[in-house]
A and B are shown apart, each in its own frame.
Chain A
Amino acid sequence: MSTAVEIAESAKTPSSPPKGFFRSVVLGQRQAVVGLAVITAFVIIAFLAPLIAPNPKERLGETFTPPGGEFPLGLDGGGADMMKLLIAGTQVSLIVGFAAAGVSALIGGLVGLVSGYFGGKTDNVLMRFTDYVLVIPDVPLMVVAAALFGRSLTNIVIIIGVIYWTSTARIIRAQVMSVRERVYVRRARSLGAGHMRLLRKHVLPQIAPLLVANTVLLVAYAIFAETFITFLGLGDPSLISWGRLIQNAFTDDAILNDAWWAIVPPGVCVAIIVLASTLVGQSIEDALNPRLAVGHLSVRRFGLRVLPQRPSRGERGATAPPPSGASAGGKGRR
């Protein structure tokens, strides 16, 4: 039976996402290249952290020694090398970011897939539930959960991941619903392909790029959320993360000591990686969904209308148009 299905499918398998899809996205858009390069650099630093920055908390001199000489970024309120702390922080922050994004991509992807594919009652129940969760303010919920469940890295990852799945679920669901009704999927179904086969062979490959784009954005939000939680004193007390460094600068009164070198760097790191993730995530989304970049005139010609975008908390900038109107959106805007 499966051979018949396979032959029929191989006769005319849809070609999207086409070969070299990611290559075309990456090469076609400067911002994606920059974003990807930045993320890669941080990931490399994170992997090398134990080698280049062992014992980051070691006291090496006077508190708040200004930058210069041996210590390019000076020493913090505990007399530890800011450079080493920052490198060690990169590791923890990225672990939180990627792990939490993974958790929410898993939950959100699964809910979106099931909801969009099966439709009907399942869809109704799941999406109602998602709607309710979406309204609960995410950051306060995270803070409360972190306060209740105790201060550990695993808890933070789970809390962030479990709270951020809703936007993924909605986006994936919408995509799955459109893929499900495409002709080749219907054909495969009528040939007797089972749910698992349809999902694995036809639906998943189609939504994978979108899931990746969404997960990249989620990495940024998770890193961001970690700084919130840690700043309120709910982070893992034994670990150094960027959020922790910001908190340390605050609690050690770096401001009174005029120690800008203890305050500025961790925030800059967070901002850079969030910006980079936004660039990459949006580039993939734009490539997947040209409607976002197309001016309304050409859209209307086909009798379509750009619906009022309702970006949800989780996605934040995700559904908004690309940031640099010239490079990405400029092509179709006129």
Chain B
Amino acid sequence: MRGVDYVLKRIFFAIVTVFVAITLNFVLFRTLPGDAIQALRCRACTQEFKDALRHDLGLDKSKLEQYRLYVADLAHGDLGSSLRSQQPVRSDLWEPIKNTMAMIAMGTFFSILLGVIVGVISAWRRGTWADRTGLWTGLTFYSMPPQWLGLIIVLYLATWLGLPTSGIKDPLIGLLEDASTWDVFVDRIRHMLLPAATLGLVLFGQYALIVRSSMLETLGEDYVLTARAKGLSNWTTVWRHGFRNALLPIVTLVALSLGFIIGGSITIEYVFSYPGIGLAVVEAIDQRDFPILQGAFLILTLSVIFFNLVADLLYYRLDPRIQ
């Protein structure tokens, strides 16, 4: 059973990676000269208070003991408490995670849609001006810093499109009268559109490239030739035989570019003041709130590992050839 073998191997790899990530997280945050308490920006804090805080957080124990405690806490889903709000990190980050997920999902959807369209057209009409224009546009957007593209969109497009450029909620909605669920939903979507569009524009180039090359590869396969010989129309051949197979690498690519997607979303959220995990990270950096930063980093890493695993398994499911 090679199939089961493959799945087990991927799962094992993911589990080990999780431990590597946890250890890295621990090492990064706990082995620095000084510690979180020392870095805390707090003029009124006395030495006694800091020592007490250090004791509370277990920072006065040995590194090994700290590591054991850290892993044990994580196993219980405990990410520590924010130094600022004194709330558990988990509850502080829960809302931002949901917001970010929604935005990233929308942005990735945009980028895949655009990438597939451009990639298919480029492959179909390869060597023509359509091919060149599409790919160069994608590559150019791909070369732009996401935060800068966000600023440009705010500067030139936002007013023209009449879309909100900051926050996630119109403060006026539901203020005077009760807003319907539908209105709230539409308002949410409107706030998500610009950040998601920025993310989509920055990302679509690489999807276009990969769709194009895998389309070109599949279009040269014998079964495509057979389809043509059978007399299927051009469109049916491209759609049914070329495109469906060409879509496979996208699954892998989305998973692999998750690090970049998340990185881009951090700065994009900052530009649009979108209250996601990126904005939480920026605020945590600003206030030297290390538990939040550590928690956010761990969550981001774990979700990347998780989605990589999902992509691997999905790929296995979609492409019987690996079996």
Tell me whether A27 is interfacial, beta carbon within 8 Å: no
User: Nearest 5 pairs between A and B by C-beta?
Assistant: A139-B263, A137-B259, A267-B148, A274-B143, A320-B209
CA distance A310 to B301 in the complex (A): 20
**B side interface size, CB within 8 A:** 70
Tell me whether A56 is interfacial, beta carbon within 8 Å: no
CA distance A309 to B248 in the complex (A): 11
CA distance A272 to B139 in the complex (A): 11
Contacts of B144 in A (CB 8 A): 267, 270-271
Q: In the complex, are the beta carbons of A296 and B282 less than 8 A apart? A: no
Q: Which segment, of A104-112, A113-121, A183-191, A226-234, faces chain B?
A: A226-234
Q: Contact flags (1/0) for A253-291 with B, using CB distance below 8 Å?
A: 011001010011011001110110010000000000000
Q: In the complex, are the beta carbons of B127 and A143 less than 8 A apart? A: no
A-B contact number at CB 8 A: 193
CA distance A249 to B151 in the complex (A): 9
Contacts of B285 in A (CB 8 A): 143, 147, 232-234
CA distance A243 to B146 in the complex (A): 11
State the Cβ distance, A137 to closest chain B Cβ, in Å: 3
Name A residues whose Cβ lies closer than 8 Å to a Cβ of B.
Answer: 131-132, 135-145, 147-149, 220, 224, 227-228, 231-234, 243, 246, 249-250, 254-255, 258, 260, 263-264, 266-267, 270-272, 274-275, 278, 295-297, 306, 308-313, 316-317, 320-321, 323-326, 330, 333
B-side interface mostly:
helix
If A140-B281, A143-B266, A232-B270 touch, whether A317 touches B17 (CB-CB below 8 Å) is: no
Q: List 11 A-B contacts (CB under 8 A).
A: A132-B16, A140-B259, A231-B267, A231-B270, A246-B147, A255-B151, A295-B220, A306-B217, A309-B210, A316-B257, A323-B136
CA distance A231 to B286 in the complex (A): 12
A-side interface mostly:
helix
Q: In the complex, are the beta carbons of A232 and B282 less than 8 A apart? A: yes
Q: In the complex, are the beta carbons of A324 and B132 less than 8 A apart? A: yes
Contact among B13, B206, B249 for A308, CB-based, below 8 A: B249
CA distance A120 to B262 in the complex (A): 35
Q: In the complex, are the beta carbons of B217 and A296 less than 8 A apart? A: yes
Q: In the complex, are the beta carbons of B264 and A323 less than 8 A apart? A: no
Contacts of A136 in B (CB 8 A): 20-21, 24, 259, 301, 304
Q: Of B252, B260, B262, B293, which is in contact with the most chain A CB atoms at under 10 Å from its CB?
A: B260
CA distance A308 to B218 in the complex (A): 12
- Residue on A with the closest CB to B146? A228
Q: In the complex, are the beta carbons of B140 and A275 less than 8 A apart? A: yes
Tell me whether B69 is interfacial, beta carbon within 8 Å: no
Contacts of A142 in B (CB 8 A): 263
Contacts beyond the supplied A138-B263, A233-B285, A254-B151: 8 A-B pairs with Cβ under 8 Å: A145-B28, A224-B145, A232-B267, A295-B220, A308-B214, A320-B209, A326-B132, A333-B216
